[in-house]
Amino acid sequence: MVVAALGWARNHRTLVASFVHATISWVALYIAFLAESGFSPQRVELSDFLWSAAVLIAIRIPVNYGLRLHVSRWRFVGSRDFFRLAVTHTLGSLVFFVLARLSLIPVALPGSIIVLEWALGGYVTMTAWVAYRILFERSQTLQNPDRSRVVVIGAGEAGGALVGQMLRLPWGYNPVAYLDDDPLKLGTSLHGLDVVGDTSCVRSVIDEFEIDELVLSLPSASAADLRRIVERCEETNLPIKILPGIDEVLDGSVSPGQLRDIRIEDLLGREPVTLELPRLAEELVEATVLVTGAAGSIGSEVCRQIALNSPKRLVLIDQAESPLYFLDLELRENYPALEIVTVVGDVTNLDTLASVFSRYRPQRVFHAAAYKHVPLMEANPLEAIRTNVLGTYRVASASAKAGCERFVLVSTDKAVRPVNVMGASKAAAERVVLWFHNRFPTCAFGAVRFGNVLGSNGSVVPLFRRQLQRGEPLTVTHEDVTRYFMTIAEAVQLILKASLLPELKGSVAMLDMGEPVRILDLAKDMLRLTGLPYRPGENVVITGLRPGEKLHEELSDPEEQSVSTALKRISILRSKESEIRMPAPLIEAIETGDVMQTMDLVLADMSASSEERVGAETSELQRL
């Protein structure tokens, strides 16, 4: 009955709202008349009341309609709706008061009646709204008796908004209590639900309230805190959902529909970094932007972010035909007004580069094309050098000749004191770019350096996921191997934001990536999230460091000077001028196809500090 009545009211919102507001005004005015007469019905002049009520309702309905009070959805009422009600209700009373003072009403009304009606009518209207909201929330429970009983961990703003949505929308959740580790929130209430304890009480709360599911609403929590809370929750063996972090909830809204399973990325100890890009749209307007390696993990996200900022033209270059095709489809579907040029080609192909750069003359170039897998490049050194060094040289040269204004190389932490071919090739690529800055000062040549990217093709997290799906043991190369991690979104934001820095000219930009993550801990976390215990030697196998693999990566060389910038957690690395040199013999060796000479030059190009690093790594491995 209640459910049917509420449904009819929703379908006739304007009619119901006008009737309710008119009825409340009628009753409030009568009570005001009654109070003025000493609560003696016999002393109330019925004709005066009827005239006054007719005029008041004739004022309130059009005022309410004009200020759109009738469109307020009572099941979602909040502070803004109450403010609108206060303004609308007060305006109606003021009009009523002015008409009475000007004797435009055929009744002599004392001001006390108008004031009392204003106060009583406003209060009762607010009460009616809240009562409707409560009835609606209760009706959702009646309609969906099988909804999961959940305890929400996190009684902050996001948790309150989430519970409010759960109560009003048929998402299948029935929140019954909060848990929060803030002692100041213990015993408080939010949306009618109590904060009954902290996360150490999760087991007893589950038993007391017969909980079916746990929901984490901690979008601002650090990964370390989240890891601690998840460990406690996993002991209950109940399903755990999580509200995405603030970097995922882009529009700031909170909805049960955003709840998802916990991912390993949530527990990696990596604090989200959000870099605002206020100038990017200004920089890209009417600009032609070219992205190499456009179909890769980083390159494709660079393309998406650039397309979002409405450049004049976006040129995509990649040799991987299929992923480039699908990226082209995606961008054309999402940005139909953007001119997109898709080129299947190799960054070492001089004819392709000459044709593309002479025709489109890009003002911005993001060079993301590179080979990145260390073991493969150890086995294929010539290809690593050809693409990563010669490709960078040729794209940079084409950019300079075409009058490019900004050139950004996507680099890696493996370029720091390299001990493998891939790292040495990227270190050489960085030097190529810095050398071009000295030769072509009209173009802002620079590089952006960061660590491993979560979820990129071939990275450790997708590898572990595939191994878990196949029932295979997780393979870790060493018990103490560590890596820096960042999300693809963070990496791309860094690249784009750093490209705007004037300090990037002739330099390398680096992000403060926090603490490195122990890969063995990562494997343990992934096992735990799938409900499996950690069994050394059985579901986690130590395989030994691969050829060219470091035990620990670095983000900067001790010989590099770190200079802070106006952007938090982004610094500029500067090398000595003598180090910015063009490795011409290396390029000559690659062009002639002399593999042995190429390898000799790559090894010779490694600095003395790199050799010391190899010795230190060997000593540490022997000690372990």
CATH code for position 406: 3.40.50.720
Residue 525 lies in a domain: no
- By DSSP bridging, strand 193-194 and strand 213-216 are unpaired
Distance CA 169, CA 591 (A): 65
Is the Cβ–Cβ distance between 399 and 323 less than 8 Å? Answer: no
The answer to whether the beta carbons of residues 216 and 229 sit under 8 Å apart is yes
Contact of 374 with 548, CB cutoff 8 Å: yes
421 located within any domain? yes
CA distance 62 to 263: 53
Does residue 387 contact residue 371 with C-beta atoms inside 8 Å? Answer: yes
Separation between Cα atoms, residue 347 and residue 395, nearest integer Å: 7
In the chain, DSSP finds a helix count (H) and a strand count (E) of 22, 22
Range among 76-80, 251-255, 379-383, 606-610 with highest mean pLDDT value: 379-383
309/445 same-domain check: yes
Q: Are residues 95 and 111 in the same domain?
A: yes
607 and 488 in a single domain? The answer is: yes
User: pLDDT at position 198, please?
Assistant: 92
Spatial separation of the C-alpha atoms in residues 78 and 80, rounded to whole Å: 6
Q: In this prediction, what percent of the chain has a pLDDT beyond 70?
A: 83
For the chain, the helix, strand and coil percentages under 3-state DSSP, each to the nearest 5: 55, 15, 35
> What percent of the chain is predicted at pLDDT more than 90?
25
What is the DSSP secondary-structure string of 33-68? HHHHTTS-GGGS-HHHHHHHHHHHHHHHHHHHHHTT
Alpha-carbon gap, residue 503 to 16, rounded angstroms: 63
Residue 455 has pLDDT above 80, yes or no: no
Q: When comparing pLDDT for 451 and 335, which is higher?
A: 335
Q: Is residue 95 part of a domain?
A: yes
Mean pLDDT value of segment 24-37: 86
Task: Return phi, psi of residue 534, to 5°.
Answer: -85, 120
Q: How far apart are CA 150 and CA 256, in angstroms?
A: 12
In 3D, which of 51, 45, 62, 64 has the Cα closest to residue 104?
Answer: 51
Same domain, 95 and 132: yes
pLDDT, tens digit, for every residue of 477-529? 999 998 888 778 778 887 888 888 888 888 999 877 777 888 898 888 888 77
- If asked whether residues 125 and 174 sit together in one domain, one would say no
pLDDT band at 541 (very low <50, low <70, confident <90, very high): very high
**Ramachandran sector of residue 453 (left: φ over 0; alpha: ψ -120 to 50; beta: rest):** beta
CB 155 within 8 A of CB 178: yes
Question: Residue 453 pLDDT more than 50?
Answer: yes
Mean pLDDT of the region 243-269: 62
Q: Which of 141, 159, 184 is the last residue of a domain?
A: 141
| Residue 204 domain-assigned (yes or no) | yes
For the CA atoms of the chain, what is the radius of gyration? 33
Range of the domain at 34: 2-141
In tens, the pLDDT along 31-72 reads 888 888 888 887 778 888 888 888 888 888 888 777 777 656
Sign, CA torsion 423/426/430/436: positive
Give yes or no: residues 122 and 164 share one domain.
no
242 and 293 together in one domain: no
Last residue of a domain, one of 232, 262, 292: 262
Domain annotation covers residue 63: yes
Q: And the tokens for 468?
A: 């878990």
pLDDT digits (tens, 9 = 90+) for 62-103: 887 777 776 566 655 666 777 877 888 888 888 888 888 887
Average pLDDT, the chain: 82
Considering the domain architecture, whether residues 214 and 335 belong to the same structural domain is answered as: no
Coil/strand/helix, residue 86: helix
The more confidently predicted of residues 381 and 132 is: 381
Are both 231 and 83 inside the same structural domain?
A: no
What is the predicted pLDDT for the residue at 400? Answer: 95
**The pLDDT value given to residue 250:** 38
Q: How many other CB atoms sit within 10 Å of the CB of residue 294?
A: 27
380 and 256 share one domain: no
Q: Is residue 466 part of a domain?
A: no
pLDDT over 50 at 570, yes or no: yes
- Mapped onto helix, strand or coil, the DSSP state of residue 104 is coil
pLDDT of residue 78: 64
Region of poorest pLDDT, from 115-119, 246-250, 362-366: 246-250
DSSP symbols for 266-303: GGSS--------TTHHHHHTT-EEEEETTTSHHHHHHH
pLDDT band at 553 (very low <50, low <70, confident <90, very high): confident
User: 524 lies in a domain?
Assistant: no
Residue 113 confidence (pLDDT)? 86
Residue 315 has a pLDDT of 98
Q: Is residue 111 part of a domain?
A: yes
Question: Would you call 76 helix, strand, or coil by DSSP?
Answer: helix
What is the average per-residue pLDDT within 152-175?
81
CB atoms within 10 A of CB 142: 9
Residues 410 and 495 reside in one and the same domain: yes
Same domain? For 361 and 385 the reply is yes
Q: How confident is the model at residue 614 (pLDDT cuts 50, 70, 90)?
A: very low
Among 141, 167, 192, where does a domain finish?
141
Range among 115-119, 263-267, 597-601 rated most confident: 115-119
Amino acid in position 533: P
**Best-predicted range by mean pLDDT (399-408, 468-477, 508-517):** 399-408
Average pLDDT (395-404) is 96
Answer yes or no: is pLDDT of 147 > 90.
no
Domain count, the chain: 3
- Residues with Cβ within 8 Å of residue 317, at least 6 apart in sequence: 290, 291, 292, 293, 294, 343, 345, 347, 352, 356, 369
